[in-house]
Structure 1
């Protein structure tokens, strides 16, 4: 948005300045006795030369503005994503295991993420560039995890029998954009009751796409702790929060 506003301002100022300069040259040649460096006293030749200079100035400025408009329309966005759970820092998901699985939370057997508000996440797609991101999309794959439930606004991409959903995707649609230097909040996620399939090797693999850019892939390690470990983590998180 800032780029578009700046481009419009630049177009207006440059066009007015060019017209003013061209008009001064033509008026000076017509009424001011300017010779424009020509070795002639023929006023018609001098005025015609002034008109040619004015036309060349306008043409050059029009070409420059067209180039800037093309650049503004074809520049690439810079996208990033933040997945923030209620009791975790952005892109650093940490959960406590469900009470029934607590004894196994040090690495033995499969565990489930305890189903309470710790598992609810805000997903924010950010564009730090001045160029708009058109037709954005986000895919989240569960690595070493399974059983993700249905989420409004997210499409199931991969479903594995006896495991459940392991990949979901959000598409903004062909008319969707994330404006330059702006962010967009995507539909919320809830990982309550998601099951650990590969202890010690769990993560979210996030892929971000948009028109014209190479897909961006981020791997966010997931930690699932027993109740004692989670209590220690909670104290560490509080101290870290106070320092930020």
Structure 2
């Protein structure tokens, strides 16, 4: 008699289904939390009696103006970080001298290790206050995650894939654009998400160099001892940070190469 082969159950997709379910929860969860937080703050502020000072700050025109300034600081700084850190990360990944990447990352780490307010004060003493000083500080403080992740993402690409592309006759630039960068996208985007959240938080300090932003509202709440003003500025800032991180997670999933 021949032994019967053991029955192997067909593979299930529980892991994939669970991952998809978690993604859907995250897709709806973060905006829902932000909406509840903003609505709660709005209802609370409208339920209390505001004095003249609070009304000058807690009105739609002023809030929209400061939120726009904050987003402008974040977007401009992020674009500059991408234009500087991604090409620099690609460049140092091509350098054969092993001491170059640690040196460049160490220099970039100085900007993040330095307290943001200290960097702002130093640049203001040297060059005066303004929007450019705030942007320079944001870039110096937030560039490290993008630079490091660009370098790591390219270094982690399977060398056999690079050799296969080279064997097909691809030139170095074609290999970079068609093989290495697409495979490094998830790692680079993870660094960009971190940098964006850094920018949103540190941009509140731009108020100290007359660059505007939601920091104006928070500082006004502290200086004038107005709790509704302070809480509203903090809630809006935290909401932007959460939404930025949520948008980054969506971008990671959409731009992630299939099969990775």
Which protein is richer in strand relative to its size?
A: 1
**TM-score normalised to structure 2 length:** 0.23
**TM-score normalised to structure 1 length:** 0.24
> Higher Cα Rg: structure 1 or 2?
1
